[in-house]
Structure 1
Amino acid sequence: MRPTTRKSRAALVAAASAALLVGSVASAPGAGAVTPDSATAQYDCGVWGPSTAAYFTATQSGSGATITITLSSLTAPLPIQTNSVTSTLVLVKNGWETTEFTGTTNPFTSVGTPFVLGPLSGTVAPGDTLDSYSLGLYSLRMVFFGITINCVAKSSLSPGPFVF
């Protein structure tokens, strides 16, 4: 009887281990598990665009994340070369901290075409929430041709916030 008992225990342990493994794999977030993956917010870019809709697209890969921004009513006054705009996006993280996404990545932008910035890079941890940020300071800064454009968030992300 002892061999049967050992086999039964081994089978039971194997079945329990398999069930735990399946449960942990099913609940583990996948790469790029940011939700929602896109959102909109209103920004005030002063004389450049006092009421600008900003469209955000977010992706995640491990602890790295990227955000691409399209500013609908902020258009290029001159042709802007690829990767020539230095951008900083400040977002509120977890309700009270701030985090920055930065980069010098942009597509070629012809005159009159809306600005597209990014993907801008930042760091996130599982469970981080990111939303529009403004305390009267800039939320988005762009520098091109020696010109600095500071924009201030006027609304939260919708739908949002981003959850990583």
Structure 2
Amino acid sequence: MSKRIGSGAALLAGALAVTGLALAPSAAAVTPDTATITASCGIFGGGAATLTATQSGTSATLTLTSSITTPLSLGANSINSTLTMANSTGPARVFSGSVNPAMAAGSTITVGPLPGTVASGDSLDFKGGSLKMVIFGITVTCTTSAAQAPGPFVF
């Protein structure tokens, strides 16, 4: 009798383990999670910047931290940003919002995390896209002529 109970318990444990694996949510992960670009913002300057991406299902966020500095102090959530990413697998994806930390004059500019929607298989690159920031009513547009490194964000 104890052999049957032991065998039954082992079968039950195995069945539960398989069921648990089958029902476990699939992890959505963007790769790579960071990339670098060199941005040109016209008369406002330019320089190196880092893009950081996160994903949860079809929701994603992008944060841009640049070497470009602000000449004035900026309050938190005072930059209206629209980050458009070229998508080699479909339409461009747009990440937008007014999310930024407070920045003292001379600080590097950071915007985000900016929310947006992605689809499985999207391959997003800043090259072919742009970052538009509205600061004190002035629009600053940044672009690049080179692909981001190490490569596009794949969702």
Of 98, 107, 110, 1:113 maps to: 107
Of 126, 151, 158, 2:142 maps to: 151
The SS at the match of 1:139 is strand
Determine the C-alpha separation between the residues in 1 that align with 2:126 and 2:70.
23
Of 38, 43, 52, 2:39 maps to: 43
Structure 2, unmatched stretches of 5+, are 1-10
Question: Is the contact between residue 127 and residue 148 of structure 2 (CA under 8 Å) also seen in structure 1?
Answer: no
Which residue is equivalent to 2:27?
A: 30
What are the residue-to-residue correspondences of 1:1-164 with 2, within 5 Å? 22=21, 29-31=26-28, 33-49=29-45, 51-72=46-67, 74-95=68-89, 97-134=91-128, 139-164=130-155
Question: Is the contact between residue 59 and residue 66 of structure 1 (CA under 8 Å) also seen in structure 2?
Answer: yes
List, as ranges, runs of 4+ consecutive aligned residues in structure 1 with deviation greater than 3 Å: 17-25
Q: Cα offset for 1:47?
A: 1.4
The number of residues matched between the two structures is 143
Q: Give the alignment's TM-score, normalised by structure 2.
A: 0.81
Q: Percent identity?
A: 45
Letter in 2 for 1:60: Q
Question: Is the contact between residue 36 and residue 49 of structure 2 (CA under 8 Å) also seen in structure 1?
Answer: yes
Q: Cα offset for 1:67?
A: 0.3
Letter in 2 for 1:98: A
Structure 1, unmatched stretches of 5+, are 1-10
Q: Cα offset for 1:94?
A: 2.9
Q: Deviations over 1:111-136 (max 9, x none)?
A: 000100001111011221111232xx
Question: Is the contact between residue 41 and residue 154 of structure 1 (CA under 8 Å) also seen in structure 2?
Answer: no
